[in-house]
Amino acid sequence: MIQLRPYQEKLINSLRESMRLGNKKLILCAPTGAGKTIMFSYMIMRHLKKGGRALVFTHRKELLKQAGGTFEKFDLQPELITAGSKPDLSKNLHVSMIETFDRRKDDYALFLSTKTLIVIDEAHLNTFTKVFDYINKDTIVIGATATPYRKGKNIPALDEFYQDLIQDVDTPDLISKGYLSDAKTYGVKINLSKAKKKGDDYDVSQIYEENKMWHGVVQNWKRLTPNTKTILFSSNVENSIKVCNEFKINGYDAKHIDGNTPKKEREEILKWYESSGVKIICNCGILNAGFDQPDIETVILYRATTSLPLFLQMCGRGSRVTKTKKTFNILDFGNNVNRLKFWEDNRVWSLQNDVKPSSKKDAAPIKECPKCMALMAMSKSECDYCGHVFKKSEEEEENEQIAELQLLPKRNRFDYAKGKSNKTLVKMCRAKLINPYWVLHNKTNIEDAREFCILMGYKMPGFEYANKNRFKIFS
C-alpha cells in the first residue's frame, strides 16, 4: 500500500473535519502532482472497509487508466462503466466515464442513489454538472481538482453544488518540500493585439502562421532546453503538426496526437513516449489533464490562453519529481506568464465564479533576460539562469539609496536631499526620512515650493512669503 505524505494526511483530515460539521459536498483542492488520485483512492479504501459503496466519475480514457493503476496499489478492483460494457452494478466500487453514464442515466438512476461516496475527478469541468440531479442529498461527494474555477457565460459556479473547499497546500509548499520540481521559465513575446477570440480564448493560429513561429520553437528549444523530453501544447491541430514536423526535419524523435487520433495509434504513441530517451510529443487538447509522465523535462506552450486552470494544468505536466529530475523548463510562446503570473506562484481559490483566483500577494511585474530569454520578477538584479546582470534604472538606484538612508543619521539624509528634485523629496518625506516643513524652509522659489506641495497632496488656498527664503502653508 502507498504511504501517504504528511500534507496528504492533513488534507484528508481537513475533509473529515468538514464532514463532521455537516458538509457532504466538498472540493479537494491540491496542485497538479500533489497526488489527488492517491488521496481519494485512500479515502475510498477506508470507506469500503466500513461497508460503503463508491463511484468515481472521470471524463477521459487516460484518467480512467490512471485511476485504475492507483486503485490497484490500494488493492481496489473497480468495475468499469465504459461504452459497450455491461458492468455488474452489484459491485461496491465503480469507475465510470461521464459520457457513458450520461447516456444511461435514466437506467442507472437507482444504481446511483445507492452510492454512499462519489468522487468526481477534474471537478471544475462543467461536464459533471448534469450528474448532480441524480445524486442522493445524503451521499458524500468529493470533487478533486487542482483548479476549482469555472469560466464562461451561463456556466454555474461550483458553490451551486459544493458546500466547502479544502486547500491546505499549494505549489510553493510542495516545491520547498521536494515533492514538486521547480520551474525555469523562458518566454518569447508575441504581439496579440490582432489575435482573434475563439469562444472565451485566443485563436493565435494566424499570428503563428504569419511569423512562422514553428521555426522559432525548435530553434529556441535547441538553444535553451536541448535534448530534453518535451511535451508541446497547441491551440489547434494544424499548429501542433507543423511544430512536430519541424522537430522531425531537424532530426528529433517527435510525434503528434489529438482527439481524432485512432485509439490504437494513440496507445502506441503514449507507450512510445513512456520509454526513456529524448522524445517530443506535440498535442492539441488531449494531454492537458490526467496525463502522468514524471520524466517530462520541458513544457512548450505553443498557444495563448486566458484560462488559468488550463495554464496550470499544462505547466503541471512537467512538475513531477524523479530521482534525476528536480527542475523542469517552461517555454512560453503566448505571453501566458505575463498574463497569468508564474506557474509556481501561490494562489487562493474560491467556490464562487465572481472571485477570480489570484495570488496571495500581488505578483511582481515580470521582465525578460535579454541574454537567455528567462522570465523573472522585475526586482531581480541578476538572472538566476545565465548570470546576466541587469543595469539599474536611475529610479531603481534612487529607491535603493532612499532605503539605505533609513539606516543612516539625519544629517546624511539632509545632505542627500539638497538639490534633489521635488519627486525625490516627496519620496523621502513619505518614507519619513525628512520633514516636509524642512523642505519648504529651504525653498527659494515660490513656484518650486508650490509644485512640491501639489506633489505632496496638500490642499491650500495659497502661499505667504514670511521672512527671508521661508514659506508657510495655510490651510
6-169 and 173-377 agree in CATH topology: yes
Categorize the per-residue pLDDT at 156 as very low, low, confident or very high, splitting at 50, 70 and 90. confident
Topology of domain 6-169, per CATH?
A: Rossmann fold (3.40.50)
Residue 240 clears pLDDT 60, i.e. is over it: yes
Residue 192: predicted pLDDT = 83
pLDDT in tens, 64-74: 665 557 888 89
pLDDT in tens, 428-466: 898 888 999 899 888 888 888 889 988 998 875 445 444
pLDDT in tens, 170-206: 999 999 999 999 999 999 888 888 787 777 778 787 7
Average pLDDT over residues 418-436: 89
Residue 475 clears pLDDT 50, i.e. is over it: no
Categorize the per-residue pLDDT at 382 as very low, low, confident or very high, splitting at 50, 70 and 90. confident
Topology of domain 173-377, per CATH?
A: Rossmann fold (3.40.50)
Q: Are strands 298-302 and 230-234 parallel, antiparallel or unpaired?
A: parallel
Residue 301, phi then psi, degrees to nearest 5: -95, 90
Average pLDDT over residues 76-88: 89
Residue 264 clears pLDDT 90, i.e. is over it: yes
Angle between helices 422-430 and 446-456 in degrees, nearest 10:
40
Average pLDDT over residues 14-19: 97
Q: What are 426's three cell numbers?
A: 516627496
Residue 360 clears pLDDT 50, i.e. is over it: no
**Entry field: residues in the chain:** 475
Domain residue ranges in the chain: 6-169, 173-377, 394-474
Contacts of the segment 36-39: beta carbons below 8 A, 24+ positions apart: 36/121, 36/144, 36/145, 36/146, 37/66, 37/67, 37/70, 37/121, 37/144, 38/2, 38/4, 38/8, 38/70, 39/4, 39/8, 39/11, 39/12, 39/144
Residue 363 clears pLDDT 80, i.e. is over it: no
Residue 64: predicted pLDDT = 60
Between 12 and 199, name the one with better pLDDT: 12
Average pLDDT over residues 289-293: 81
Lowest mean pLDDT among 5-9, 171-175, 316-320, 431-435: 431-435
pLDDT in tens, 85-136: 899 999 999 999 999 988 998 899 899 999 999 999 989 988 898 889 889 8
Between 243 and 468, name the one with better pLDDT: 243
Categorize the per-residue pLDDT at 406 as very low, low, confident or very high, splitting at 50, 70 and 90. confident
Average pLDDT of the chain, as a whole number: 86
Rounded CA separation 101/109 (Å): 10
Q: What are 227's three cell numbers?
A: 535534448
- Return the percentage of the chain with pLDDT > 90, whole number: 49
Lowest mean pLDDT among 33-42, 230-239, 364-373: 364-373
